[in-house]
Structure 1
Amino acid sequence: MKIVITGASGNLGSAALRELSADGRHEVTAVARRRPDVADAGAASVRWHAADVSHDDLTTVLTGADAVVHLAWKFQPTHRQDVTWQTNAVGTRRVLDAAAAVGVPSVVCASSVAAYSPVDHDTPVDETWLTDGASEATYCREKAYVERTLDAFEASHPDIRVVRLRPAFVFQRSAASEQRRIFGGALARPALVDRRRIPLVPVPAGLRFQAVHAGDVARGIAAAVERPVSGAFNLAGEGVLRREEIGDLMGARTVEVPRGLAVRALGAAWRLHALPVPGSLLTALLNVPLMSSDRARTELGWTPSHSGRDAVNALLEGMPARAGSTMPPLHP
């Protein structure tokens, strides 16, 4: 199959690139704003195309493709919502319009657990749960907007197979440096995020979440490309991480802090530009549902090779070690 991957140099994109180019079973074109100087291992045969989904021509690169995997996304700058909107909302519309214009028969698009509406329970939800966003955070609003965009696209183009994947929080070792910069900013130097130096971890009351390894999401993407499926699929690693699991992973004592206090403190740090993530994103983390991945197991044949704990551990090991890759966004 001829497959085009947008956002191919990012966390999810690099993993999807490795999976879909393995063994030469697919002809892959990787689209990214910045081409890597040296392709990652396993992707030497991939054809790279430099393009920004927010404004560059996409019809040329999509012409003749059997499937497009849309993973291009900007998390930062959180203080410039106009910038993220252009890539995340406008860019998604432009990818879909280009796919329809040249007749790409299959579209696989990354959504997120953050697209789901808030819950006040721990019962895992399936793909029918509402997707109005977990909080007012820009990330959640834009993910919810993409869900509505995909709804409209499916209604207008019933001849195109559309799959949307909703992974839990996605981690891998090679993206650790990027994620340290995204969530910690300039103050989060590698030595400061070394868990051997962290004796105490404050945990907001009621925090619990799922995680998934990027490699497992990539296998879900490959299955969505190769199998005649459509609709939404949740992807989460085994296990739920709560205060006890966080303390065990960090090898540190934990202290519970009130939810409201944690959100306000993060919000104040964000407004002062001391930290790059707003308090509303922590609100989302506290409100997202736990997900059932039963549909992915049944229809995609998907079983995660890593637990959620494994995925977070890969991040925690990689950050102080300056782990990264040759992909520009993942460079250490």
Structure 2
Amino acid sequence: MRVVIVGATGNAGTALLRRLRNEPGVEVIGVARRLPEDGSPHAGLEWHSVDIGRDDAQARLTQIFAGVDAVVNLAWQIQPSHDARQLYRTNVLGSRTVFRAALRAGVGTLVQASSVGVYAPGPKWAYVKETWLRTGIPESSYSRHKALVERMLDEIESDHPTLRVVRLRPGLIFQRDAGTETGPLVPARLLRYGRVPVLPAHPGLRLQAVHADDLADAYLRVLRADVRGAFNIAAGPVLDPAALARAFHGVAVPVPGFALEGAAALSWLLRLQPVDRGWVRLALKAPLMCCDRAAEQLGWRPRTNAVSALHEAVAGLTERAGRAGQARRAGRPAGGPGWLSGVSRKV
């Protein structure tokens, strides 16, 4: 089976490459805007440098996709959050380009990285299935874009019934080496000390997460199985303010939602941090997901619980923050902004 991973150098992409590289009978081709550096564990694979937002991307991708069995689209851009046009160009128009190239190349399976962000506001003390309304959280551009991309997939499924289309909808994605999904939660500058003294507590701040390696296992199971449709992917337990306070050795302090949103909006406008109001709104309103379908149809169960995955991500961020501080003291480039260096990466 020949598989192309678009966005293969991102958070989920690196984990999926690890999972597939030595998988018997699987040949992996990586696509990313920036190719891995020499010495990377994945540098020996077949790689293609493509910016999916460029006008020539569809023709180039069609050639790359020719003769492959499956395309897994993981490409997504979170930063620069102040450039809405660029985000739309990559996330929505770029995804459409990937889909059109897959259709032109005659690919048999298309797997899309979706998200809990595709869902309309939902419960925080119950769990929704994959049939929950998919209108997103209007205040979040990330959520709106995820919903738009899934609508494209709906049309593709209707017009091309022989194409197998699968969407995975994970929560936050954690791993030690790449923590881009952690950006909306905590700044790396604080994590160089391994703690955040005070964290906001709100009833709506109940989030789900999954370790990147467990997510990669779900992608492999989708590629191996004859399944279609959407799958929620998350591990327990739910990450609430108390769990986050324990993980970051801090104290949870009650804060009203309007204060959280206002603080994010103001500091974002002042360019003090890269997280806009929409991320806070998404965290407060996104529902909790039921993952029974993944267990029943894929046989998928996470090996790492959400708290352990979070601790692993925090340890990795702390190490990177410490290395950045050493580099600054030595007069060398720090390798990233004060927030996690991976959060602005485009794949």
- TM-score normalised by L of structure 1: 0.91
Q: Which range is displaced more, 122-131 or 239-248?
A: 239-248
Structure 1 residue aligned with 2:129: 126
Cα deviations across residues 63-121 of structure 1 (Å, max 9, x unaligned)? 00000000010011111111011111111111111111110000000000011000144
Which letter maps to 1:94? T
Q: Which range is displaced more, 195-204 or 246-255?
A: 195-204
1:267 aligns with 2:270: no
1:166·1:235 contact (CA, 8 Å) conserved in 2? yes
Structure 2 residue aligned with 1:236: 234
1:118·1:135 contact (CA, 8 Å) conserved in 2? no
Between the aligned partners of 1:283 and 1:329, the Cα distance in structure 2 is 22
1:194·1:316 contact (CA, 8 Å) conserved in 2? no
- RMSD value over aligned CA atoms? 2.3
Q: CA deviation at 1:22?
A: 2.0
Between the aligned partners of 1:261 and 1:144, the Cα distance in structure 2 is 27
SS at match of 2:178: helix
Segments of structure 2 that go 5 or more residues without pairing to the other structure are 324-340
Structure 1 residue aligned with 2:11: 11
Q: CA deviation at 1:39?
A: 5.7
Between the aligned partners of 2:66 and 2:44, the Cα distance in structure 1 is 19
The alpha-carbon distance between structure 1 residues 330 and 15, as it changes in their structure 2 partners (threshold 3 A), is farther
Between the aligned partners of 2:133 and 2:40, the Cα distance in structure 1 is 38
1:68 aligns with 2:71: yes
Q: CA deviation at 1:206?
A: 3.1
1:184·1:276 contact (CA, 8 Å) conserved in 2? no
SS at match of 1:3: strand
Between the aligned partners of 1:282 and 1:123, the Cα distance in structure 2 is 20
The alpha-carbon distance between structure 1 residues 295 and 287, as it changes in their structure 2 partners (threshold 3 A), is same
Q: CA deviation at 1:197?
A: 4.7
Between the aligned partners of 1:237 and 1:299, the Cα distance in structure 2 is 17
Structure 2 residue aligned with 1:253: 251
Which letter maps to 2:13? G
1:195·1:250 contact (CA, 8 Å) conserved in 2? no
SS at match of 2:130: coil
Q: CA deviation at 1:249?
A: 1.0
Q: CA deviation at 1:44?
A: 5.3
Q: CA deviation at 1:281?
A: 1.2
The alpha-carbon distance between structure 1 residues 277 and 117, as it changes in their structure 2 partners (threshold 3 A), is same
Q: Which range is displaced more, 227-236 or 167-176?
A: 167-176
1:205·1:257 contact (CA, 8 Å) conserved in 2? no
Between the aligned partners of 2:271 and 2:344, the Cα distance in structure 1 is 23
1:11·1:330 contact (CA, 8 Å) conserved in 2? no
- 158, 161, 167: which is aligned to 1:158? 161
Structure 2 residue aligned with 1:117: 120
Q: Which runs of 4+ in 1 moved over 4 A?
A: 182-185, 328-332
The alpha-carbon distance between structure 1 residues 37 and 194, as it changes in their structure 2 partners (threshold 3 A), is closer
- 169, 173, 178: which is aligned to 2:172? 169
Between the aligned partners of 2:6 and 2:136, the Cα distance in structure 1 is 23
- 83, 88, 103: which is aligned to 1:85? 88
Between the aligned partners of 2:283 and 2:343, the Cα distance in structure 1 is 24
SS at match of 1:284: helix
Map 1:293-312 → 2, pairs under 5 A: 293-312=291-310
Q: CA deviation at 1:279?
A: 1.2
Segments of structure 1 that go 5 or more residues without pairing to the other structure are none
- TM-score normalised by L of structure 2: 0.88
2:80·2:344 contact (CA, 8 Å) conserved in 1? no
Q: CA deviation at 1:200?
A: 2.3
SS at match of 1:217: helix
Structure 2 residue aligned with 1:291: 289
Q: CA deviation at 1:38?
A: 2.8
Map 1:207-246 → 2, pairs under 5 A: 207-246=205-244
Structure 2 residue aligned with 1:106: 109
SS at match of 2:121: coil
Q: Identity over the aligned pairs, expressed in percent?
A: 39
SS at match of 2:4: strand
The aligned length equals 324
SS at match of 1:228: coil
